[in-house]
Amino acid sequence: MARIDSITVDIIENALKNIKEEMDVTLFRSAMSPVIREQHDCFPMITDAEGKMVVGNFGSHIPEVIKQFPEGMHDGDVIFVSDPYSCGGSVSHVNDWMIILPIFHKEKLVGYSSMFGHVIDVGGPVPSSMPVTATSIFGEGIRFPPVKLYDKGVLNEAIIKIIKANTRTPLENYSDLMALVASCRTAEKRVKELCERFGTDFYFEALDALLNRTEKMMRHLITNFLPTEPVSFEDYIDDDGLGNGPFKMKLTMWREGEHAYFDWTGTDKQSPGPINYYLSEPMFKMFIGSFLISVFDPAINFNDGFYDLLHIETPEGTLMRPKSPAALGCRTHALSRLFDVLSGVLAINSPESSPAAGYGTSPYFIFSGQDEEGRSFNLMEVMYGGLPGRPIGDGLDGHSWWPAFVNIPTEYLETYYPLMVNYYKTGTDSGGAGKHRGGNCNEKLYTILASGQVSIHDDREKIQPWGINGGEAGSSSSKLLIKKDGTQIRLSSKVDNVDVEKGDQILFITGGSGGWGNPIERNPNLVKLDVARGLVSKEKALNSYGVLLGEDLEVEIEETESIRAKMREKVGELQSFNFGDRDQTLVKL
């Protein structure tokens, strides 16, 4: 076998990263759904011939899907899947459509490209296909087990007909599906060019080197940062939208030598409602690796090279591994809260090295109906919240858990949907106070310009995001319907088909995030800047940070020093975790 040098490995690695970016660009320019096109709710991947992810985000699902085709893969095949239960949770609800494309070079399989994206509507009883009231996956829309959308280059027209007949948005869904295929074909073309340039043997050797490099670095992280004694942490989802809850998510972690173990035993049983999350083992391994790499060594490339070092236990019949046909449509509450739990368990022995909790969900605003000209519309917008305070600095204000996600521009919303955005801003004082402030929430006020129905998916309404290492807890979420006559109606965080009329308003407030470190250690000039920017009020500056600001917002230095001295005497030993009102809230619930 040819011996490859490290420079060539680096060239191929960066070429693959660029290919992944080109996959995204192809999709964004071709898809029609705003959740994909504007918000970038999609995840690309390129693997080796065995299906191991070399570049990507979510970990490889390829082997589990491919084994369902005993006839094997051929040049021109394209696989389509949207059923979580038939692909081990590789897609986590039926709105996520995944394409897998085998890549052949000179009749030899050299890898796979894959992309999945969230399409707006796949049928079911409510627009956008994520009913809060679903009690099984059968009530959430059409789903496809792994099928060949193209068989040796020939399109299966029957699949297209079935798709179009089972959605409120047939044009958008067809365009999104073909955009996903085009994205994978882009990767196919570029990978073939790499094989042509370097030769298949060199290409294979480079992929092995990339996987081995990541494994070696991950062994170092596991050995140096994970405990040998088991530690546990738990957090809660408020409810399932059907009156059940809260639901506990508990994770225990330890290491044995260079191997790490993560056990979800103690997590509550699966929910009657649709907040269950079918946790894919490869995906969770990628989450763990992503977290460790991001915190301790961001230079490491994400790939499947370290998977053999991680061991996952997820009891069947629980919230994180429900039995079919449990409903999964609102699984993002558990999916996002997973990061808070993972952060917490890693922080047990070193809170000074870990972030606090964030808004811990993926809020959705859904608005559908017919405009005044009789045209149907269906909007689903992903909302964001506060990201947690961190050892290296403040949390991000009004940001997505997924770094690549962005907001839908107001101009786009107001052009294509009958609504007006009155304001879109971060919520003052919603981030937990800390030496490094927790990120603030989002507040968005809509004015409805056509009668229709609004659905809302959110969490952290009852149980706050916790602070760490002396930081305070962040704020909870809330929703308000303001009728055109001025009547105000509180909406729950999970509700379907709220009737709205022209002139009504919806105020959508997401959760904030926890702060990191003792607030009275924060530089007073940073507190002054927060107040000037509207991120912190003068009252919170005084009460939480011990900073007295004058009328001109200048720091009253002597008074501030005196106030902070008194606060230090009262504080005593700092808490590793500050759960806010969680204990009292859990008792009430």
Q: So where are the chain's domains?
A: 6-215, 362-518+574-589
Q: Tokens representing 32?
A: 């029609």
Q: Tokens representing 95?
A: 């709105």
Q: Tokens representing 58?
A: 């979510």
**Which residue in 362, 367, 548, 533 sits closest to 457, CA to CA?**
362
Using 50, 70 and 90 to split pLDDT, how confident is the model at 271? very high
- 434 has pLDDT over 60: yes
- 325 has pLDDT over 60: yes
Q: Tokens representing 52?
A: 């191991």
Please say whether the beta carbons of 82 and 97 come within 8 A: yes
Which residue's entry shows tokens 């009547």? Answer: 487
**Which residue in 348, 305, 218, 321 sits closest to 263, CA to CA?**
321
**Which residue in 513, 546, 492, 506 sits closest to 437, CA to CA?**
513
Q: Tokens representing 194?
A: 């790499």
User: What span, in angstroms and rounded, lies between the C-alpha atoms of 360 and 236?
Assistant: 10
- 297 has pLDDT over 90: no
- How far is CA 353 from each of CA 130, 189, 348, 484, rounded to the nearest angstrom? 37, 43, 10, 49
> What average pLDDT does the chain have?
94
User: What span, in angstroms and rounded, lies between the C-alpha atoms of 19 and 46?
Assistant: 9
User: What span, in angstroms and rounded, lies between the C-alpha atoms of 512 and 475?
Assistant: 5
Please say whether the beta carbons of 484 and 504 come within 8 A: yes
pLDDT tens-digit profile of 532-583?
A: 999 999 999 999 999 999 999 999 999 999 999 999 988 777 889 999 988 7
Cβ neighbourhood burial of 11 (10 Å; 0-12, 13-18, 19+): middle
Q: Tokens representing 318?
A: 């629980």
For every residue of 32-85, which 3-state class applies, written as one string?
CCHHHHCCCCEEEEEECCCCCEEEECCCCCHHHHHCCCCCCCCCCCEEEECCHH
Q: Which residues pair with 390 in a beta bridge?
A: 393
User: What span, in angstroms and rounded, lies between the C-alpha atoms of 83 and 142?
Assistant: 9
- 296 has pLDDT over 80: no
Query: Between the CA atoms of 568, 534, 455 and 58, what dihedral angle is there, to the nearest 10 degrees?
Result: -70
pLDDT tens-digit profile of 29-53?
A: 999 999 999 999 999 999 999 999 9
Which residue's entry shows tokens 């971060």? Answer: 426
Please say whether the beta carbons of 305 and 214 come within 8 A: yes
Using 50, 70 and 90 to split pLDDT, how confident is the model at 2? low
Higher pLDDT, 304 or 330: 330
pLDDT tens-digit profile of 462-510?
A: 999 999 999 999 999 999 999 999 999 999 999 999 999 999 999 999 9
Per-residue pLDDT, averaged over 301-322, amounts to 93
Using 50, 70 and 90 to split pLDDT, how confident is the model at 376? very high
pLDDT of residue 521: 96
- 380 has pLDDT over 60: yes
**Which residue in 141, 583, 119, 59 sits closest to 312, CA to CA?**
59
pLDDT of residue 509: 98
DSSP secondary structure letters along 494-505: EEEEEEE-TT-E
- 588 has pLDDT over 90: no
pLDDT of residue 76: 97
pLDDT of residue 304: 87
pLDDT tens-digit profile of 230-260?
A: 999 999 999 999 999 999 999 999 999 999 9
pTM exceeding 0.75: yes
pLDDT of residue 85: 94
- How far is CA 46 from each of CA 20, 55, 101, 461, rounded to the nearest angstrom? 7, 6, 10, 38
**Which residue in 495, 456, 461 sits closest to 478, CA to CA?**
461
CA atoms within 13 A on the CB side of 31: 29
User: Could you give the strand order of the β-sheet that contains 231-237, starting from the edge strand earlier in sequence?
Assistant: 231-237, 247-256, 259-263, 310-313
- 1 has pLDDT over 60: no
pLDDT of residue 569: 87
pLDDT tens-digit profile of 150-160?
A: 999 999 999 99
pLDDT of residue 503: 98
- How far is CA 165 from each of CA 380, 420, 475, rounded to the nearest angstrom? 20, 32, 43
CA angle, 301 as apex, 295 and 302 as ends, to 5°? 80
Per-residue pLDDT, averaged over 287-292, amounts to 82
pLDDT of residue 121: 96
**Which residue in 589, 473, 475 sits closest to 237, CA to CA?**
589
pLDDT tens-digit profile of 386-420?
A: 999 999 999 999 999 877 889 999 999 999 999 99
Please say whether the beta carbons of 224 and 201 come within 8 A: no
User: What span, in angstroms and rounded, lies between the C-alpha atoms of 331 and 130?
Assistant: 10
pLDDT tens-digit profile of 163-210?
A: 999 999 999 999 999 999 999 999 999 999 999 999 999 999 999 999
Using 50, 70 and 90 to split pLDDT, how confident is the model at 454? very high
Which residue's entry shows tokens 């991680």? Answer: 310
Please say whether the beta carbons of 511 and 385 come within 8 A: yes
Three-class SS state of 360: coil
- Name the percent of the chain lying above pLDDT 90: 85
